[in-house]
Structure 1
Amino acid sequence: MTGTILTVTPNPSLDRTYEIPALERGEVIRAGADRMDPGGKGVNVSRAVAAAGRRTVAVLPLGGAPGALVAELLDAQGIEVAPVPVAGATRSNIALAEPDGVLTKINAPGPRLSAAEQEALLRTVRDRSAGADWIACCGSLPRGLAPSWYADVVARAHDAGARIALDTSGPALVEALRARPDVVKPNAGELAAAVARPLATVGDALTAAEELRAMGARAVLASLGADGQLLVAAEGAWFATAPVTAVRSNVGAGDSSLAGFLIAGGTGPTALASAVAHGAAAVQLPGSVMPTPADLDAARVTVTPEIPVGRALREPVS
């Protein structure tokens, strides 16, 4: 499995996206277009990796008709699936996309995993991780899994000699930091929640990212939305931006960004530039479509070690 990026999605979904003229409560709304995609943050990372022509394996619990359809859709995209059968049906999510880029999402909670299903999921991750370049653990935890579950996965991955990237939030993120994941990828809101205070400037985000490193993360790739991305690691800190002509959908943009980071090696300014190029391309595509190399515009990405600490975030996070 040399060169493979293994993804772990404990709470996958079947995502239906509808493009609508406007969201009006209580009215019948006619969609202009709709699409159905396999969903979940790790699933999206695998989709973006596959779109770049790299091998990926997606480990995920699947149940019921929605789960079978998720596996079928991933197979059609050339993604190898390592399914863990579960009794409960895989959740179905709905996204409503308006022309101005506003997205309304309805996310179902997902099935509750039994103790046996949880152990089967861990066992599958262990069995499929040998020789992988990276293991990306992403998304919320389903009912039944303790907040410490990701910390256990990180520890097991390191015992096997694997590098691990983590994209989650809340107690699951904080718990996992003590296991020293190689990189964590919070957005601005998740970063603010992790340090329990508001973020108003890029400097605030930089300080918060440094605190996550002090808590155990070896590197922090922080997405600040339209304001850019930060990479903070032992080797230094960098800030990157890229212009976006029009936002069509931000579903999966952060996941595409993480994929771009890992595809480019997962360390340093070159990987940061790849992350930003992938994220910028993804928001200009419909639904949760992942960008291909032809969609990327790497020449328009700016990366600098000069962090604009005084720059106000366009959407301060409290």
Structure 2
Amino acid sequence: MIVTVTPNPSLDRTYEVPSLERGEVVRATGERMDPGGKGVNVSRAIAAAGRSTVAVLPLGGAPGALVADLLDAQGIEAAPVPVAGATRSNIALAEADGVLTKINAPGPELTAAEQELLLETVRQRSRGADWIACCGSLPRGLAPSWYADLVARAHTAGVRIALDTSGPALLAALRRGPDVVKPNAEELAEAVGRPLATVGDALKAAEELRGLGAGAVLASLGADGQLLVDATGAWFGSAPVDTVRSNVGAGDSSLAGFLIAGGSGPDALASAVAHGAAAVRLPGSVMPAPTDLDPAAVTVTPQVPVDRPLTEPVP
């Protein structure tokens, strides 16, 4: 069973548009409304795979109530922490050529009592869990050390923890030794303080995160594939994708696939790549079901192509 923690969840509205023209009336060709936030997406992908998950998240106001209803409709057990502020609403505009524009609201500010209740709820619901996946940005009121505290508490309880966040929160948590961290290329570059131009640059950055305390690093490199770096070595995984409909939640789907497959080693990386590739073929933030996966298209190798330029280098 996998518990997910989403400190800053959202109500996500995704509109598919032919193209985005600033200052003009744009008519959507499709729309979706989903419960959002990185941890929520991980739970949705786990549930789509038929596995057990509990989503711990603070919810408030009418948007929060709608998020709870949407989770229930998808068969996901939620452990809501009531907060005074309203849950944020986000908008994503997905163009026909695959370009995505996101507008993310800041979210409510959590009081000290709400923060502690969130931690206590995680403690209660993670008893007997295989993994805790902590994902996304921190809402106002939570210090960058909040994730670090959660990592320490998880290890005290004997539960493995995966972390998908960035910036000061990631750097603070590394010192507590999370079992897995899942940055993308931009987050890797930010963490090490330098640009990434090649897969080799990303590999070196991932190795540095391990040196700072991460047990393993699962790095998403967009269209170029994914890297897994742990104590036993490094692997590179990729899969061809002909058409990208939306990359919303693709990284979250990858993390879910990784944890579903055990959370370590090349087989888990292959599952992560298969889930990520399937997610980008789907509209909005739809999470892939097993029938959407194409494991045979995935390639995983210990021969990391260090000289390969990144399709989207990080300056």
**Structure 1 length normalisation: TM-score?**
0.99
Name the amino acid aligned to 1:168: T
1:66-145 correspondence runs (5 A): 66-145=63-142
- Partner residue in 2 for 1:154: 151
- Partner residue in 2 for 1:203: 200
Structure 2 CA distance for aligned equivalents of residues 232 and 33 of structure 1: 39
Asked if 1:282 is matched to 2:290, the reply is no
Q: 1:5 offset after TM fit, Å? A: 0.5
Name the amino acid aligned to 2:216: A
Name the amino acid aligned to 2:47: A
Q: 1:249 offset after TM fit, Å? A: 0.1
Asked if 1:316 is matched to 2:313, the reply is yes
Of 150, 175, 179 in structure 1, the residue corresponding to residue 172 of structure 2 is 175
Of 238, 241, 250 in structure 1, the residue corresponding to residue 238 of structure 2 is 241
Structure 2 segments unaligned to the other structure (5+ residues): none
RMSD: 0.4
4+ aligned runs moved over 2 Å, structure 1: none
Structure 2 CA distance for aligned equivalents of residues 236 and 210 of structure 1: 10
User: 1:88-146: CA deviations, max 9, x gaps?
Assistant: 00000000000000000000000000000000000000111110010000000000000
Structure 2 CA distance for aligned equivalents of residues 304 and 77 of structure 1: 35
SS at match of 2:246: coil
Name the amino acid aligned to 2:72: D
Of 56, 59, 62 in structure 2, the residue corresponding to residue 59 of structure 1 is 56
- Partner residue in 1 for 2:291: 294
Structure 1 CA distance for aligned equivalents of residues 84 and 230 of structure 2: 41
User: 1:128-171: CA deviations, max 9, x gaps?
Assistant: 11100100000000000000000000000000000000000000
Structure 1 CA distance for aligned equivalents of residues 120 and 220 of structure 2: 31
SS at match of 2:158: coil
Percent sequence identity is 83
- Partner residue in 2 for 1:188: 185
SS at match of 2:56: strand
- When the two structures are aligned, how many residues end up with a matched partner? 315
Q: 1:214 offset after TM fit, Å? A: 0.2
Structure 2 CA distance for aligned equivalents of residues 294 and 30 of structure 1: 31
Moved more, 18-27 or 8-17: 18-27
Structure 1 CA distance for aligned equivalents of residues 305 and 17 of structure 2: 37
Q: 1:235 offset after TM fit, Å? A: 1.2
**Structure 2 length normalisation: TM-score?**
1.00
Structure 2 CA distance for aligned equivalents of residues 289 and 228 of structure 1: 20
SS at match of 2:152: helix
Q: 1:296 offset after TM fit, Å? A: 0.1
Structure 1 segments unaligned to the other structure (5+ residues): none
Name the amino acid aligned to 1:293: P
